Structure 1
Amino acid sequence: MSAEGHRTAIVSLGISCQSSRQIRTHAEEIGHQLGEDIQPARHFFDGLIAPVPGVARLFEDGFPLFGSGDIRMGPHHPVWHPYDIHFLHHFRDAAGTVDIAGRMAEELSRFGHMRGKLQRLSRFERLVFVLSNSQNNLTMVQEETGLTDLHFEASAVGRLRHAVEHYLGRPCEFILVSLDGRHAGDLADEVHVLSPDDSEWTGDKGQWRALLLERLAENRQPD
């Protein structure tokens, strides 16, 4: 999940589940620091594998919702073309078997609702997006899904920022979280590089807590 208060929203833009997991984990502490009630809130990219170039293109295209012909079976998981967004946890029946046609109506309803929530994010006084590629098993996920854009490249990140702000019609804050070797050198001053941890995908809570609280304190508006 991502998280929202009455003035502030902290929202995951992928590229995987670690961003949303850590935002949810630290929502209460973030709220204490910001002086408002911050609660977990579901958002569009929370459970998706969503590479930066694909998400940028989605916003540039006006954020259309997928139709029945847009979701196709990729290696192991459904993929939203042409955005290379992978649904590892959706379009599955009760037994966990992929059933794109059978689950289409339910997923359209689910993601249509969350797209509406995303479109309403402009109402918040402070809007912070979190992107991370620090999930340890992303290399395995990349091999399993055929994901091509795992690294953070400056041009792609810049394109995404512009596309998001243009779509929402307002400036936003962006927090980038990565590991050594997973981001371009020209992003070194912008990326929070985590030390290695032994989790499969969740990440190190202590490191995430420190960076989120530090970054969110930087631009806090006085009450």
Structure 2
Amino acid sequence: MVVAFWNISSNSTNNTKQTNKTQNIFSFVALSKLKTSAQEATEMASALVRGARRLPPAMWGRGFAKVAAGDDIVAAAPGVALQKARTWDEGVSSNFSTTPLKDLFQGKKVVIFGLPGAYTGVCSAQHVPSYQKNIDKFKAKGINSVICVAVNDPYTMNAWAEKLQAKDAIEFYGDFDGKFHKSLELDIDLSAALLGPRSHRWSAYVEDGKIKALNVEQAPSEFKVSGAEVILDQI
């Protein structure tokens, strides 16, 4: 059983913590490759800093998830369902069906990773590709499915998955109302970046609903512990 996360030391000074927050925020702006001028990027980063000062400390740099290795991911989010990535027409024809968590996890070996949002920089350039290129290694270890989930609607997730050409390797799901991530306390408020309620960047290895390994990044801009290479070593 493994839990890995990056955290700010409790011995750090307030100034150091604020500096770390500021650096992480500027990184999020840069890595998301926002199409803004230098002045607009600076203004956005400043807005994010102001927003961070209003956030409680637990919203930054945490392995503060409610769940941990050994917990049942289905029981931790009772009544919660995800929405399989699909086109609008497919949504209509399926009567906007959802997928209960037990259908995703029970009796299966699953790797699941969450990220702040479709079409954002680190998510598109690093996070999803790390799993996409390692899919054969996951299959060799007996993994039944690799799942990507974000606080997006399933139609956005579908279009993004197609753009990344990743649908054949990875199952994409939307958490349109954020209930899944809220239940696990893996949610984060990114309103200062005009994203609203979102997900932390994280990954987990789950066997028959039981979490065997959980990794949570310190900040949404970072990509140190939630990639495929890390979780492969934990299986």
Whether TM exceeds 0.5 here: the answer is: no
